[in-house]
């Protein structure tokens, strides 16, 4: 097993990429710490892991709050004695996110509070724990839009993921000699509840699919497998990277319809 005896904190573990990563990491031998503010979904993920014979705990924590990030790390070390992997996956995409003219200031502020400040705070309290463990892997969820920009306006989200990408590169540089690797995982469009609620007609889906060379949406479990690579020793010489898992969308030039 690729993560045997490792301790992995995964934020946003109640659904989507977070849940699939929790399940996969547990199967690969990790002690998983599921973090979310959705207690129902978090407990469901916990039950799924335990029913499959895995080891996990659930912690309710809001990553945009410093005291809760600190608590998350403390509870993990109290339970398992160490932190080896920190997957800063939780994030939001606000329904009212739009262009610069139409995005309200409170939508902008909330998006950055969760998506950027949240990653910063997880690293602020998580990096000392990784140091105490002798090193480890940090994975920050960014997005393909951090490289391309989004055809459908979502300025706050796109800008926030660009900030995550920049933060990842600097943290990777700062901590490389401490055996702490920091990488950004950049998914393309996924067949998740979050995206499908926006692409709620065949026409909207096809407009997005025309940009993806593979001709389909990605699956959350495919992103989880990429996270496994970045979390494991298989990626021991990988840090500061933008790990694209996007069906080829950033490699192609396609004229929008």
Residues with a known catalytic role: 157
Please choose, from the candidates 48, 14, 24, 56, the residue with its C-alpha nearest in 3D space to the C-alpha of residue 228: 24
Q: Say how far apart CA 84 and CA 7 lie, in whole Å.
A: 5
Give the pair of three-digit tokens for residue 86.
């920190």
User: 3-class DSSP state for residue 182?
Assistant: strand
Element (H, E) at 95: none
Name the burial class of residue 121, with classes exposed (0-12), middle (13-18) and buried (19+) by CB atoms within 10 angstroms of its CB.
buried
Q: Say how far apart CA 60 and CA 96 lie, in whole Å.
A: 26
Q: Say how far apart CA 222 and CA 220 lie, in whole Å.
A: 5
């Amino acid at each position: 097993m690729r993560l045997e005896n490792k301790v992995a904190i995964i934020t946003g573990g109640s659904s989507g990429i977070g849940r699939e990563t929790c399940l996969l990491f547990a199967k690969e031998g990790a002690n998983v710490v599921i973090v979310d503010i959705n207690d129902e979904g978090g407990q469901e993920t916990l039950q799924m892991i335990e029913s499959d014979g895995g080891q996990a705990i659930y912690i309710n924590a809001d990553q945009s709050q410093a005291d809760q990030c600190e608590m998350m790390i403390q509870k993990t070390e109290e339970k398992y004695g160490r932190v080896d992997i920190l997957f800063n996956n939780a994030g939001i995409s606000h329904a009212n996110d739009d262009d610069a003219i139409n995005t309200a200031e409170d939508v902008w502020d909330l998006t950055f509070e969760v998506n950027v400040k949240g990653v910063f705070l997880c690293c602020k309290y998580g990096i000392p724990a990784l140091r105490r463990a002798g090193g480890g892997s940090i994975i920050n969820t960014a997005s393909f839009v951090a490289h391309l920009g989004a055809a459908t306006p979502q300025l706050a989200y796109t800008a926030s993921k660009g900030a995550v990408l920049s933060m990842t590169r600097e943290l990777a540089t700062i901590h490389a000699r401490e055996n702490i690797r920091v990488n950004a995982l950049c998914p393309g469009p996924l067949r998740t509840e979050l995206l499908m609620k926006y692409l709620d007609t065949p026409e909207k889906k096809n407009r997005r699919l025309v940009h993806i060379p593979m001709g389909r949406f990605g699956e959350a479990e495919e992103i989880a497998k990429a996270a496994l690579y970045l979390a494991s020793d298989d990626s021991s010489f990988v840090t500061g990277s933008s790990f694209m898992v996007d069906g080829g969308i950033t490699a192609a030039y396609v004229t929008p319809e």
